[in-house]
Amino acid sequence: MSEVLVIGSLAYDSVKTPAGSAKKSLGGSANYFSVAASLFSPVRVVGVVGTDYAKEDKEILIRRKIDLQGLQVVEGQTFHWEGTYENDLNEAVTLKTELNVFAHFNPEIPVSYTQSSHIFLANIDPTLQLKVLSQISNPVFVGMDSMNFWINSKQSDLLEVIKKVDILFMNETEVKMLTQENNTITAIEKISKMGPRYVVIKRGEYGVTMYSPEKGYFQSPALPVSNVVDPTGAGDSFAGGFFGYLVKNVQGQPSWSDLKRAVLAGTVMSSQTIQDFSLKALLDLSPAQFERLNQDLIRMTTLEG
Ligand code: AMP
């Protein structure tokens, strides 16, 4: 059986957007990813939370049958991120990053996780991403994400991770920052030479660009959404939909056409997340609603009909 293992942050986020604010609400890259992916496939989580992490928040993952054997609970406070979005909803401004229990986290993978087929190294300290990846025997497909915080503070470990993955997800600002290029296309082609076979650039309301040196470019628009409440977690929900789709529908290595379909699935998931604070809108999405939105997106991207 196939499944996806994710290492990433389980967090409390304090977020302010033009639509309002939410204080210490549930967030974190691993939470968004696993809730999105679990609509399609089995998910295993590696991470750490503090003793302040609410029982109800853990139960959200349990209700979606997410495997939490790799989740540690230790004395201290859960990771806390504070951010704001001003005029540009595509770009978060970080006000505070409090690593708390993540600062001393040493991920030990349960034996049952070591054979996981798909791995997603969600946004977290690249040293932790490397430690987790080194404990997996023979993964079929490995993806990663990161952000400016780690590009600035842990760049050499980040470059090590980039060398080892099949697919890299980043936003435009991050890829330009990492490559020191100011043209997105130049930045994509430069980063694709650093290791990953595929590069996926998230462009918020302008959609997604995927690139492979053999296949060239694929672009998907975003679903049109007028009710953008909080863009936090859009990238992780995208990755969750993308990986969940692949695990459910593709055996072994995905083809270019499989990856295109996975981009559309990810796009649907991120369009949900942004319509409310925290994980609220994402948790409400049913498989039937997903299917309708996915068909809408397919109609928007084809010439027929
Ligand atoms: P995104 O999908 O890029 O909007 O990711 C948003 C999530 O990333 C938030 O829920 C934050 O808790 C989490 N986050 C923010 N900064 C970091 C960081 N430095 N490391 C790990 N996770 C983070």
Residue 139 has pLDDT above 80, yes or no: yes
Tens digits of residue pLDDT in 271-304: 999 999 999 999 999 999 999 999 999 999 999 8
Q: Whose CA is nearest to atom 19 of ligand 1?
A: 149
- pLDDT value at position 266? 98
**Ligand 1 midpoint to CA 82 (Å):** 9
Pairing outcome for strands 208-212 and 11-17:
unpaired
pLDDT band at residue 34 using 50, 70 and 90 as cut-offs = very high
- pLDDT value at position 87? 81
Rounded mean pLDDT, 33-41:
98
pLDDT band at residue 215 using 50, 70 and 90 as cut-offs = very high
Residue 305 has pLDDT above 80, yes or no: no
Work out the percent of the chain whose per-residue pLDDT is above 70: 100
- 255-286 burial string, b = 16+ CB within 10 Å, else e? eeeebbbbbbbbbbbbbbbbbbbbbbbbbebe
Tens digits of residue pLDDT in 112-121: 999 999 999 9
The two tokens of residue 80 are 């806390």
pLDDT band at residue 88 using 50, 70 and 90 as cut-offs = confident
Residue 103 has pLDDT above 90, yes or no: yes
Helices 234-249 and 29-37, interaxial angle, to 10°? 40
**Is this model's pTM higher than 0.95 or not?**
yes
Q: Is 232 in the pocket of ligand 1 (CB under 6 A)?
A: yes
Domains in the chain, start-ordered, CATH in brackets?
Answer: 4-300 (3.40.1190.20)
The two tokens of residue 180 are 């020191």
Q: Whose CA is nearest to atom 5 of ligand 1?
A: 233
Query: What is the atom index within ligand 1 of the atom nearest the CA of 83?
Result: 15
- pLDDT value at position 304? 85
